[in-house]
Amino acid sequence: MKATKKRLNAVLETYKKSLANVSATCKTNDISRNTFYEWLKDYEWFAKEVENIKEDTKDFVEGKLM
């Protein structure tokens, strides 16, 4: 499934707000998990942003635990 940059950015914003929760992101953006993972394969910049958000989320959670 092809996606516009605007659509991908909206998904990334939701992903960040959901603390890297793929299920919540997909539900909010009305896409399947399969679509999300296909976009990771199809759009290198999108995959890099997803990874950055995951790392930022880990840092945030670790900081709260300490």
In degrees, rounded to 5, the angle at the alpha carbon of residue 60 between the alpha carbons of residues 46 and 50 is: 10
pLDDT score, position 2: 82
Give pTM, 2 decimals.
0.89
Q: What per-residue confidence (pLDDT) applies to 9?
A: 98
pLDDT on residue 64: 87
Span 1-50, pLDDT tens digits: 688 999 999 999 999 999 999 999 999 999 999 999 999 999 999 999 99
- Residues in contact with 61: Cβ distance below 8 Å, sequence separation at least 6, in sequence order: 19
